[in-house]
């Protein structure tokens, strides 16, 4: 059996996707150029807080919720013409999720290097 580890999947994804710095993400967010989407689990948000002006879609529901015709996109008036910037706790889940969104057909999608941990130390406002 030749089963890839999650580390190998993440490494492969990183070769195919766009990774941006937390500073660049903050600049894009401040200029209203992107949708910041937190894909951490609800428990993580409750424990560590959330990033101001971000949307929350847990990783397990991302493909269903981000589709242009989904209730989530409609309800939140998500502008899918803007860059979709994903983040998780440290960057592994968001790397895999960006790869999946590219497979869905999204062109402007990236993830934040270091995830929530690096964002909370880079000027993003964390709401507890």
**Domain coordinates in residue numbering, the chain:** 15-127
Q: What angle do CA 80, 84, 85 make, to 5 degrees?
A: 165
- The predicted pLDDT at position 1 comes to 85
- Counting every residue written for the chain, the total comes to 128
Segment (H or E) for 87: strand 83-87
- The predicted pLDDT at position 79 comes to 94
- The predicted pLDDT at position 120 comes to 94
Whether domain 15-127 has CATH 3.40.250.10: the reply is yes
Using 70 as the pLDDT threshold, list the residues of the chain that sit under it: none
84-119 per-position pLDDT tens digit: 999 999 999 999 999 999 999 999 999 999 999 999
Residue whose entry in the numeric block shows the structure tokens 């130390």: 121
- The predicted pLDDT at position 108 comes to 97
For residue 121, the Cα-to-chain-centroid distance in whole angstroms is 17
- The predicted pLDDT at position 6 comes to 95
């Amino acid at each position: 059996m030749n089963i890839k580890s999650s580390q190998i999947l993440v490494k492969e994804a990183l070769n195919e996707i766009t990774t941006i710095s937390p500073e660049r993400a903050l600049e894009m967010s401040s200029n209203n150029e992107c949708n910041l989407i937190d894909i951490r689990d609800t428990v993580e948000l409750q424990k560590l807080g959330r990033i101001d002006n971000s949307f929350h879609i847990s990783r397990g529901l991302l493909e269903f919720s981000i589709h242009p015709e989904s209730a989530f996109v409609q309800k939140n008036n998500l502008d899918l013409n803007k860059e979709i910037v994903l983040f998780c706790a440290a960057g592994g889940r968001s790397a895999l999720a960006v790869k999946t969104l590219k497979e869905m057909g999204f062109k402007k999608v990236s993830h934040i290097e270091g995830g929530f941990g690096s964002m909370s130390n880079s000027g993003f406002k964390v709401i507890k």
